[in-house]
């Protein structure tokens, strides 16, 4: 089982579409011309998607901020940090501090970078690590790699 679809309320679908395709790297799937909704493929085409729902729609009418995580490989995660920064996007660690490197949550274990979209939704690029779990560890990837 995997998550197929999720919807995000956005304040402006065109701006959100540009951010999610150009910065996050999702692929455009469909624009519903009868409603203010854009669908984007996340990952392999037709595997998962995200709907961006404008303020005049069912899911967009009551705006609330949310969190979405995208699974990536470690090399994609490391490249994403630099790519996001070049796009003017600030990356954060698990504790919310600005960072240049992924942080690790040891109980999973996973490495991740957090950043925000134009509406303030918290986005995450996450890579599950094959290392043994260490539940007490939360810190930078470089520190985790020195331990393993």
The CATH number covering residue 44 comes to 3.10.180.10
Mean pLDDT on 59-66: 92
Mean pLDDT on 6-23: 97
Domain-located, residue 59: no
Which strands sit side by side in the sheet containing 67-71, from one edge to the other? 67-71, 122-128, 110-116, 103-105, 138-140
Mean pLDDT of the chain: 94
Q: Is 143 helix (H, G, I), strand (E, B) or coil?
A: helix
Residues 141 and 80 grouped into a single domain: yes
| Confidence check: pLDDT of 6 > 90 | yes
Residues 47 and 74 grouped into a single domain: no
- pLDDT value of residue 129: 97
* Contacts of residue 5, Cβ cutoff 8 Å, sequence gap at least 6: 48, 49, 50, 51
Residues 85 and 124 grouped into a single domain: yes
Domain containing 106 equals 67-147
Q: If we measure between CA atoms, which residue out of 51, 45, 61, 39 comes closest to residue 6? A: 51
- pLDDT value of residue 148: 64
Residues 126 and 71 grouped into a single domain: yes
What is the domain count for the chain? 2
| Confidence check: pLDDT of 141 > 80 | yes
Residue 8 CA neighbour count, 13 Å, CB half? 26
Could you read off the pLDDT of 22-54 as tens digits, one per residue?
A: 999 999 999 998 999 999 999 877 889 999 999
């Amino acid at each position: 089982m995997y998550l197929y679809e999720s919807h995000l309320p956005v304040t402006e679908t065109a701006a959100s579409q540009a951010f999610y395709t150009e910065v996050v790297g999702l692929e455009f799937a469909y624009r519903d011309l009868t409603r203010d909704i854009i669908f984007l493929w996340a990952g392999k085409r037709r595997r998962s998607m995200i709907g961006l729902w404008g303020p005049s729609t069912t899911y967009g009418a009551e705006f609330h901020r949310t969190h979405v995580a995208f699974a990536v490989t470690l090399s994609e995660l490391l490249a994403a940090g630099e790519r996001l920064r070049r796009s003017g996007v600030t990356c954060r660690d698990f504790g919310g501090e600005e960072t240049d490197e992924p942080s690790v949550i040891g109980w999973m274990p996973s490495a991740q970078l957090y950043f925000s979209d134009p509406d303030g939704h918290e986005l995450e690029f996450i890579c599950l690590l094959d290392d043994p779990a260490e539940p007490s560890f939360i810190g930078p990837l470089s520190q985790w790699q020195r331990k393993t």
